[in-house]
Amino acid sequence: MKEPSPPLKIGPIDRRIALSQQIYDRLRHAIDAHLLRPGARLASARALASELGVARGTVESAYQRLAGEGYVLARGPAGTIVSPHLAQQPARQPAKATANARLPVDPGAMAASPEPPLPLQLGIPALDAFPRKLWSRLATRRIRASSPPELSYGDPRGYLPLRQAIAAYLLVSRGVPCRPEQVLVTGGYRASLALIVQTLLRQRDRVWVENPCYPPTRTLLERAGAIPCAVPVDDEGLVSAEGVREAPKARLAVVTPSHQAPLGVSMSMPRRLQLLDWASRHEAWIVEDDYDGEFHYHGPPLPALKSRDTTDRVIYAGSFSKVLFPGLSLGYLVLPEGLTEQFSASVQIWPNYVARVTQAIVADFIDNGHFSRHLKKMRALYANRRALLAAALTDAFGARVTIDLARGGMHLVARFAGRASDETLARRAQRAGLSCQALSPRYLGEAKQEGLLMGFTNVATAQEAARLAAALRDALAVGNVSA
């Protein structure tokens, strides 16, 4: 079992135990657990004494004892720091948990990606190609220019210039006409979906989800007390007719029309129209999860479903995790006009918690034209990286592999000949440090396709692609792929 983490900040003091001993114990614990890192500066004895309501001499005596044992260094007026020599000691962590954390065997664990990302990991944009210098310039400028009002609470719907920039971008690039008032800034797709569920659903409401689907969607809905109804996906996308047959009165449908997650197919126009028609006839809502719609490599991109939403039933959910980077934790919703008031009330209770300065940096990034330049660059880069990985897999596996290259997206699906299940193959790959995910666990019920999902966006060169494909061949073989 994992040990509970000690508090980093020293909390209230228990007056029954010697005060100096308690302060000493807590600081030692924090240093041992690497919560206070080598080189970190401790609060001054005066400040800590005032925070804890004890005499300054009490804190000083704990500091002196720590210094005597080599845990801290007193540097006179420069303060007291954690001894830099402690850097050699490993952090106290249960070894088993660390080893397991790098093996995301459960598809639900996809949401918590390992750090740093593993080779072939899904859903991570090309981190080497992000314009970090430019970003830090924009960030520095924004932070320097922060005025007192900007340090206050902001609008819980999001920073207006960002909402304006998103509205302009969506109109031009995704064909979605909307007003900034319809845009709500959120902490990413899951935060968006949680807000939708809290605002629109009642317990046991039925929701169409794609089969197969993005596991966090189903899990979040289940946890919130909704009933997900699995609607099959074929090579034209969601088969709405099946949804109508199974759950005509569902209140919501969550779909990924641009590139179905995980199969990668784009929803055909007739299917889009059927889905919109169902929603308007049953007064249901559609959540369009457009997580990577910008990355399209063959033919013109299909416009967003929201752009055809003549009866205003589509809630468009965008995320900056793929188009910028996931560490931003930034997404947004475009609401139908009829829902803006209800959601504005909702965010008074569940605000988005995204730092205003982050929102301002992203607004500058979009307004100054960097965003569209970055997307254009990434589209070309990903098309190339995808081709590199596909070619390397074909070289390594020959006729034993079939690769689905959808019209867009950030991953491919590779299907291997042989008797081993995709879950077995995924486990073998993961043991070798490759983050391939099995396709079949993303289905509910029978009628499963099998295959391995692999992210290609961080495969930088032909050599790296060849090295990864060879490592995968060795990992899957374990004697023989068909074993």
Ligand X SMILES: Cc1ncc(COP(=O)(O)O)c(C=O)c1O
List interacting residues with ligand X (CB under 6 A).
123, 188-190, 214, 256, 261, 289, 291, 319, 321, 326, 331
- Least Å distance, CB 87 to ligand X, is 33
- Least Å distance, CB 92 to ligand X, is 31
Amino acid 102 reads R
Contact 232, 443 (CB under 8 A): no
What does the block give as tokens for 467?
């090295």
Strands (E), 401-478: 401-404, 411-416, 437-438, 452-455
**What does 313-336 look like in DSSP terms, one character per residue?**
-EEEEEESTTTT-GGG--EEEE--
Decide whether 292 or 309 has the Cβ nearer to ligand X: 292
Q: Pick from 248, 258, 249, 243: which is nearest to 209 by CA?
A: 243
What does the block give as tokens for 371?
């965003």
- Least Å distance, CB 436 to ligand X, is 15
- Least Å distance, CB 291 to ligand X, is 3
Q: How far is CA 349 from CA 198, 221, 224, in A?
A: 10, 20, 17
Helices (H), 332-450: 340-349, 356-367, 370-397, 422-431
Decide whether 60 or 294 has the Cβ nearer to ligand X: 294
Sequence-distant (6+) residues with CB within 8 A of 275 are 238, 240, 253, 255, 267, 286, 305
Backbone angles phi, psi at 399, to 5 degrees: -75, -5
Decide whether 196 or 469 has the Cβ nearer to ligand X: 196
Q: Pick from 354, 331, 335, 475: which is nearest to 416 by CA?
A: 475
Decide whether 58 or 256 has the Cβ nearer to ligand X: 256
- Least Å distance, CB 283 to ligand X, is 25
Whole-angstrom Cα distance, residue 302 to residue 276?
16
3-state DSSP call for residue 146? coil
Decide whether 260 or 274 has the Cβ nearer to ligand X: 260
Q: How far is CA 243 from CA 209, 249, 279, 319, 446, in A?
A: 9, 9, 11, 26, 16
Decide whether 324 or 335 has the Cβ nearer to ligand X: 324
- Least Å distance, CB 319 to ligand X, is 3
Decide whether 107 or 243 has the Cβ nearer to ligand X: 107
Decide whether 142 or 442 has the Cβ nearer to ligand X: 442
- Least Å distance, CB 113 to ligand X, is 9
- Least Å distance, CB 321 to ligand X, is 3
- Least Å distance, CB 343 to ligand X, is 18
Whole-angstrom Cα distance, residue 409 to residue 258?
9
Decide whether 187 or 243 has the Cβ nearer to ligand X: 187
